[in-house]
Amino acid sequence: METVAAFQSSSLSSLSYNWVARSGPTRPNLVRFGSKSLLSDACIQQRPSYNRIQLSNRKFGIVSRKCTAIRASLQPPDSGSSSAPIAPLKLESPTGQFLYQILVSHPHLVPAAVEQQLEQLQTDRDAETEKEEPSASGTELVLYRRIAELKANERKKALEEILYALVVQKFMDANVPLIPTITPSSSPKNSGRVDTWPSQEEKLEGLHSPEAYEMIQNHLALILGNRLGDSSSVAQISKLRVGQVYAASVMYGYFLRRIDQRFQLEKTVKILPQGNEDEDANIQQVIERSDEALRFAQPHPEVSSGGTFGGIKPSRLRTYVMSFDGETLQRYATIRSKEAISIIEKHTEALFGRPEIVMTPQGTVDSSKDETIKISFGGLSRLVLEAVTFGSFLWDVESYVDSGYHFVAN
C-alpha cells in the first residue's frame, strides 16, 4: 500500500491462519505494500443510504429466540441452483438467519429490521448490566459468570452478523454480486480457472470518490505491476497469497474510506492544507519504506512494472495523507472494533477456505503444500476491487451501527 507509514507490520507473510494478523484486541498488524508486485516468482507461474422504514413488531418481531429452527443457506429460495449464493459467509445466529431471510425477500427492509435487532441487543445488554452478582461464592458464582459470558458471546456474534448483513445489502443495492467461494470451474472452456465472475469495474468505481479511486488504482498497480491492463492472461498463483492480498485490501479499503471522508469534509468546507510541493519526493520516500516491508515479495519478471514508482501516480488524496503526522495516520489505520476484525477473517476464510500453514524449523512458511489456483489478471483485479469496496462498506456500517448500539472502542 502506498501510505505505508500508516501501518505497523512486518509483511504479508506474517498474517495468521485467520488471515488477519493481530497486535492487540482491536489493533491488527495492517500490512504494507511496496513498490514491487505482491505476486512473486514463488507464487506465480505464468500461463499462455439507509431509509427508516417502520416494521410491525407483530409481523417481523424480534426473533432472536424464535428462529432457532431456521437455517440460512445463503441462497435465494427461487434460484433453483445451489451455486448461486448471495454471499460466501453463512450466517448462523438467529439474528443473522432472520436478516438473511429479509435480504432474500425484502432487502429494502433490512435497515429497519436491523434497528429492531439492535434495540433488542441493547435491552439485553442493559438488563445484564443491571444484574447484581450473587453474594454466594464458589460453584454458583462461577456458573453465574459463565452464563453471563455465553450471553455476551451470543450478542457479539449477532452484532457481527448484523454488520455483515448490512455490508451484503450495500453490495446488493449497488447491483454488484459478491464473489462466491473460490473453487475451480468445471466448465471445459474455463480450463479450471476460478474467476468465472463478471468484471463489474465500472460499478465498483462508482462506489468511491474520484480521489479515492485514484488511490485504489495505485493499490492495484502495486499488486499487479505492468499486468494491470492485461485482463486476459492467466497465471497459477498461491491461494494463500491471494487470500492474504484480499484480506489486506479489505483493511486498505477500510482505511481509505475513513481518510477519504475526512478529506471530502475538509474539501467541502474549504479547509484543506496547502499542497506539498515536494510530492514526488515524498512518494519516493514512501516507496523506499515499502520495499523494506515486502522483502519477501521479489518481483516476477512478468508482473513487475519496472518503473521507479511501481505504477504509483501522484494524487491529491495521497498528498493529503502525507500531511498527517505519524500518530494521526496510525490512528486512522487502526480497525476500531473486534467485530470488524472478525468479519474480515471470517469472510476471507469463507472465500478461500481455512489455510493450512506449516512452519519449517527455520521459522519460515513451508510452501510445499500450498494450494495454487488458476486465475486471470482481470479476475485478480476484480478480487482486489471487491475487497477494497468491502472494507469501505465495513467502515460505513460499523459507524452506522455504533450510532445506535455503541460497541466501538474509543
pLDDT at 85: 75
Across 59-99, the runs of DSSP E, i.e. the strands, are: none
Residue 43's identity, in one-letter code, is C
Most confident stretch, 160-169, 182-191, 284-293: 160-169
| Higher-scoring residue by pLDDT: 338, 60 | 338
Whether the predicted pLDDT of 324 surpasses 70 = yes
User: What is the mean pLDDT of the segment spanning 378-394?
Assistant: 96
Burial of 273 (0-12, 13-18, 19+ CB in 10 A): exposed
**Mean residue pLDDT across the chain:** 75
Side by side, the strands of the sheet bearing 44-47 are 44-47, 234-238, 372-376
Q: What are 85-117's pLDDT values in tens digits?
A: 799 999 999 999 999 999 999 999 999 999 999
DSSP 13: G
Cα–Cα distances in angstroms (integers) from residue 348 to residues 159, 240, 353, 386, in the given order: 18, 11, 8, 12
Cα–Cα distances in angstroms (integers) from residue 359 to residues 13, 356, 364, 365, in the given order: 11, 10, 6, 5
Neighbours of 115 (CB within 10 A): 18
**136 pLDDT tier (thresholds 50, 70, 90):** low
**270 pLDDT tier (thresholds 50, 70, 90):** confident
Confirm if 182 and 287 have CB atoms less than 8 A apart.
no
Q: What are 358-376's pLDDT values in tens digits?
A: 788 887 877 777 788 999 9
| Higher-scoring residue by pLDDT: 126, 188 | 126
Domain boundaries defined on the chain:
4-48+184-396
- pTM score: 0.75
